[in-house]
């Protein structure tokens, strides 16, 4: 649990904000020097997501998506804009959202809102999103804030909408990273937080073909 590794909540958040302010507004910066894995990541995410967008009575819509911890818009540009009519982006670092406006190019006109806000303070507009995509950012929230945010995401979903988390998973327990002021949780801890938020897991998948030296990465779909 994060309560065991986060000693000072205010410091936990402010230190993370400061860290990201010094990170280059590039794909490589967003991925901590692992920019070369971006295409592998996006291709896997697209396959994962498309299983919910296929035809059928409970098909997830393609009207509007929300990119959480969006950075400069790597996921918005390559995954969400090709699949959804409009996208909203939320990130705590203003410089990244400013950079996104040029990085996204012409298609960026379909980004309706750029929200500059930490997820612990962000509330998705109720009944608005078909997909809420949360990637490589849950480690910047305490357990309580993550659970509360997921509850707010639940109310932000349109009928048949889904919340997707894609993130690093620890082998066991919760590991603190003092460099970027984040935590890495194991699968059981993440599943418990999802349940606590009143969400039901629809699918879970481990990312393949990532470098051996990084954490295992898992994707969860829920509603």
Q: How far is CA 135 from CA 3, 59, 114, 212, in A?
A: 22, 22, 17, 19
Q: Is 186 annotated as a binding residue?
A: no
Is 93 annotated in some ligand binding site? yes
98 is in an annotated binding site: no
Contact 222/199 with Cβ under 8 angstroms?
Answer: yes
| Spatial separation of the C-alpha atoms in residues 138 and 69, rounded to whole Å | 9
Strands (E), 72-215: 86-91, 111-116, 129-135, 157-169, 174-177, 182-185, 201-206
To the question of whether residue 171 is assigned a binding role by annotation, the answer is no
Q: 């960026």: which residue's tokens?
A: 108
Residue 93's SS3 state is coil
Cβ distance 91 to 71 under 8 Å? Answer: yes
| CA dihedral sign, ordered 33, 5, 167, 80 | negative
Q: Is 69 annotated as a binding residue?
A: yes
Exposure on the CB side of residue 213, measured as CA atoms within 13 A: 3
What are the Cα distances from residue 112, in Å, to 84, 89, 93, 127? 12, 8, 18, 16
According to the annotation, is 119 in a ligand binding site? yes
Binding residues for S-adenosyl-L-methionine: 69, 74, 91-93, 119-120, 135
Binding residues: 69, 74, 91-93, 119-120, 135
């Amino acid at each position: 649990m994060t309560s065991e590794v986060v000693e000072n909540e205010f410091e936990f958040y402010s230190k993370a904000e400061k860290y990201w302010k010094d990170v280059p507004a590039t794909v490589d910066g967003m991925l901590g020097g692992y920019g070369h894995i971006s295409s592998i990541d996006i291709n896997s995410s697209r396959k994962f997501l498309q299983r919910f967008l296929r035809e059928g009575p409970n098909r997830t819509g393609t009207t509007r998506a929300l990119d959480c911890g969006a950075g400069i818009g790597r996921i918005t540009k390559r995954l969400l804009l090709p699949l959804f009519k409009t996208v909203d982006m939320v990130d705590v670092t203003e410089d990244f959202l400013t950079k996104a406006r040029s990085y996204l190019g012409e298609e960026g006109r379909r980004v309706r809102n750029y929200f500059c806000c930490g997820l612990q303070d962000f509330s998705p507009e109720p009944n608005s999103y078909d997909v809420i995509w949360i990637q490589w950012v849950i480690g910047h929230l305490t357990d309580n804030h993550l659970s509360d945010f997921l509850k707010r995401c639940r109310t932000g979903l349109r009928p048949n909408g889904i919340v997707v988390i894609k993130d690093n998973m620890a082998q066991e327990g919760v590991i603190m990273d003092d460099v970027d002021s984040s935590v890495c949780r194991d699968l059981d801890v993440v599943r418990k937080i999802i349940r606590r938020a009143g969400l039901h897991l629809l699918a879970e998948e481990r990312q393949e073909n990532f470098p051996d030296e990084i954490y295992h990465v898992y994707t969860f779909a829920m509603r």
